[in-house]
Structure 1
Amino acid sequence: MATLLHIDSSLQPAGVSASRAVTDAFRRAWLEQHPDGTVVHRDLAASPVPHLTGEAYTAESTDPARHTPGEAAAFAERLVLIEELERADAVVIGAPMYNYTIPSTLKAWLDSVILFGRTAGETPSAKGTPVTVVASRGGSYAPGTPRESFEYVRNYLAAVLTEALGLDVDFIVPELTMAPHNPALAPFLHLFEESRARALDEAASKAKALADRHAA
C-alpha cells in the first residue's frame, strides 16, 4: 500500500494559504490514483516540531545505551519523523517564502530528519524518494526579475533535499500570491491567477505521474 508524506508549513489556514491549496490538490490527485493508500499529514504550523536541542544533537553521536533520559526522549522524537520519511513512497511539502526563506518550522523538521549515517551521508536511507515542493511566494523571484537574488527557498531546499538526503526533488512555484491583498501588486493580479491555475494543474499532473511511476 502506497504512502504519501504530506507536509504543510504555512501559517495561513486552508482556504487562505496558496501553498496549502496546491499541496491539497496534489494529495487529492494522488489519492485518486491510490484509493487504498495512506497519507501521513504533518501540519507544522498547527503542531510544530521542536527545534533541535543540544540533547537531540548530541544523542545522534552517542551510544543509545549511554543516552541520558533527555537525550533518549529527544532522539525518539527525531526517529518518529525519520521513519515517516523512510516509509514514504512520495512526499509533498508546502514551503511558502517568509522573509526570503523557508518557515522556521520547516527548518526544524529538516534539522530533525537529517541524521548523518542514516538519512544523510554516503547511503541515505530515503535516497530516490520523489519529493514535490510547493514553493509559493508573495512576489516574483524568477530569473530576470529584480528580486531574483533574494530567492533562498528553492535554492536552499534543492541543495538540502538533494545533496543531504538524496531525494528526487521537483518544484511547483506559485508566485505573486499577495497580488489579491496588496494594492501595489494589483497590476499583476492576472499573473497571479495564471500562476495559481498552472500550479494546481501541475500538482494534479505530477501526482498522477508519480502514481504511474510507482505502479510501473
Structure 2
Amino acid sequence: MATLLHIDSSVFPAEASASRVVTEAFRKHWQEEHPQGTVIYRDLAAQPVPHITADTHLAGFTDPATHTPEQAAAFAERVKLIEELEQADAVLIGAPMYNYTIPSTLKAWLDNVILMGRTAGETQSAKGTPVTIVASRGGSYAPGTPRESFEYVQNYLDAALGGGLGLEVHFIVPELTMATVNPAMADLVPLYEASRDRALEDAATKARELAKRVAA
C-alpha cells in the first residue's frame, strides 16, 4: 500500500492556516485514492523535531561502533526521520513563508534528513520521490512583483529537496493570504480568494495524479 509522508509547519491551527487548509485537501484526495494506505503525519509546530547538535552532526560522519552514548541516542532520532522519508511513496509539506523564508521547525527537520552519504551526495536514498510543497505567503513574491528578490522559500526548498536530495519537487502557492486581515491589502481580497481556490484545485489534481501514479 502507498505511503504518504505529510508534514505541516504552520504555527496556526487548521482553520487559521492557509497552508494547512491546502495540505489537508491534498491528503483527503490522496486517501480517497488509497483508503488502505498509510499516512505518516508530523506537525512540526505541535511537536518540533530536535535541532541538530554537535553529537547529532558528528555521528553522521563516524562509524556507529564508535558512537558515544549521547551520539547514539541523538543519531537514532535522526535515523527515524530519515527512514520515514525513505519509506514514503510521496511527500507533502506545508511551508508557509515567515520573514521571507521557511519556519525554523521545518529547517530543523531538513537538517535532520539531509545526510551526506545516505540521503544526499552520490547516494540520494529517496531520489525521485515526488514532494508537493504548499508554499503559502502573506503577499506576492512572484516573478515581476516588487518583492520577487525576497523569495527564499521556493528557491531554498527547490535547492535542498530537489538538488540536495534528488526529490521531484512540485509547488502549490496560495498567496496574498494577509489580504483579509490587513486593511492596507483590502483591495487584494479577490486576488487572494482566486489564489486560494486555485491552490485547492491544484491540491486535488496533484494528489489524484500522484496517487494513481504510485498505484500504477
TM-score (norm 2): 0.99
2-side partners of 1:112 and 1:210: how far apart? 26
1:21 match: secondary structure: helix
Residues 119-198 of structure 1 mapped to structure 2, 5 A cutoff: 119-198=119-198
2-side partners of 1:60 and 1:155: how far apart? 26
2-side partners of 1:153 and 1:66: how far apart? 37
1:48 match: secondary structure: coil
2-side partners of 1:65 and 1:166: how far apart? 29
1-side partners of 2:48 and 2:122: how far apart? 29
2-side partners of 1:208 and 1:128: how far apart? 18
Is 1:89–2:65 an aligned residue pair? no
Q: Which residue identity does 2:87 align to in structure 1? A: R
1-side partners of 2:191 and 2:32: how far apart? 29
Q: Is the 8 A contact 2:2 2:215 kept in 1?
A: no
Is 1:20–2:20 an aligned residue pair? yes
Q: Is the 8 A contact 2:2 2:34 kept in 1?
A: yes
Q: Which residue of 1 is the match for residue 207 of structure 2? A: 207
Equivalent pairs counted in the alignment come to 216
Q: Residues 114-137 of structure 1: CA distance to partner in whole angstroms, max 9, x if unpaired?
A: 011100011210000000000000
Q: Which residue of 1 is the match for residue 43 of structure 2? A: 43
Q: Report the CA distance between 1:215 and its aligned residue.
A: 2.0
1-side partners of 2:121 and 2:143: how far apart? 32
Q: Which residue of 1 is the match for residue 107 of structure 2? A: 107
CA RMSD of aligned residues (A): 0.5
Q: Is the 8 A contact 2:175 2:195 kept in 1?
A: yes
Is 1:60–2:57 an aligned residue pair? no
2-side partners of 1:73 and 1:67: how far apart? 9
1-side partners of 2:211 and 2:45: how far apart? 28
Q: Which residue identity does 1:163 align to in structure 2? A: G
Q: Is the 8 A contact 2:29 2:208 kept in 1?
A: yes
Is 1:70–2:41 an aligned residue pair? no
Counting aligned pairs with the same residue, the percent is 73
Give the gaps of 5 or more residues in structure 2: none
Q: Is the 8 A contact 2:29 2:207 kept in 1?
A: yes
Q: Residues 26-77 of structure 1: CA distance to partner in whole angstroms, max 9, x if unpaired?
A: 0000000001011000000000011100000000111111111110011000
TM-score (norm 1): 0.99
2-side partners of 1:189 and 1:158: how far apart? 29
Q: Which residue of 1 is the match for residue 5 of structure 2? A: 5
Q: Which residue identity does 2:146 align to in structure 1? A: P
Runs of 4+ in 1 over 6 A off after TM superposition: none
Q: Which residue identity does 1:140 align to in structure 2? A: S
1:30 match: secondary structure: helix
2-side partners of 1:59 and 1:74: how far apart? 8
